[in-house]
Structure 1
Amino acid sequence: MARTNPLTFLQQVRSETAKVSWPTRREVGVSTVMVLVLTGLTAVFFFLVDLLIRTGLGAVLGLVS
């Protein structure tokens, strides 16, 4: 592995950081809202699946006993 001195390393880091495309405030807000909405939908989905399985299993076990 090639060795570089700390000054060269910091110059390379600064150069690479300048190439980064940073999101705008609006993009961050829209992404945050999308994550929250999809998290809520996922929670509702798994709640309904759990309810369906619990009800079905309760019905099956109720018939057996």
Structure 2
Amino acid sequence: MAEKKTRTTPGEFIRQVRTESSKVVWPTRQETITTAIFVGIMMVILSLFFLGIDSLFGALVGWLLTLA
């Protein structure tokens, strides 16, 4: 038989949240800037890649439609 769970009081919940949030390690300003730059560069690279793939498939479908 399953054990009955005890309810947590709002005060205990707030204490648990404070305890857990004190364990969070926030990134430094430099880490945040570096990550943002990396994300921006990857976004540009991937958008160009998918533009190329989309253009290639668009041209391929257009060519196939001319054969029909």
| Whole-Å separation in 1 of the counterparts to 2:8 and 2:55 | 60
Give the 5 Å matches for 1:4-19. Answer: 4-19=8-23
What is aligned with 2:63? 59
User: Cα RMSD over matched residues?
Assistant: 1.6
How many angstroms does 1:7 deviate by? 1.7
Consecutive unaligned residues in structure 2, runs of 5 or more: none
Mapped partners of 2:8, 2:41: distance in 1: 46
Using the size of structure 1 for normalisation, the TM-score is 0.79
Q: Distance in 1 between matches of 2:20 and 2:28?
A: 19
Q: CA deviation at 1:60?
A: 3.3
Higher helix fraction: Structure 1 or Structure 2? 1
| Unmatched runs of 5 consecutive residues or more in structure 1 | none
Does residue 1:43 correspond to 2:47, yes or no?
Answer: yes
Q: Following TM superposition, by how much is the alpha carbon of 1:40 offset from its aligned partner in structure 2, in angstroms?
A: 1.0
Q: Report how far residue 14 of structure 1 moved.
A: 0.6
TM-score for the superposition, normalised by structure 2: 0.76
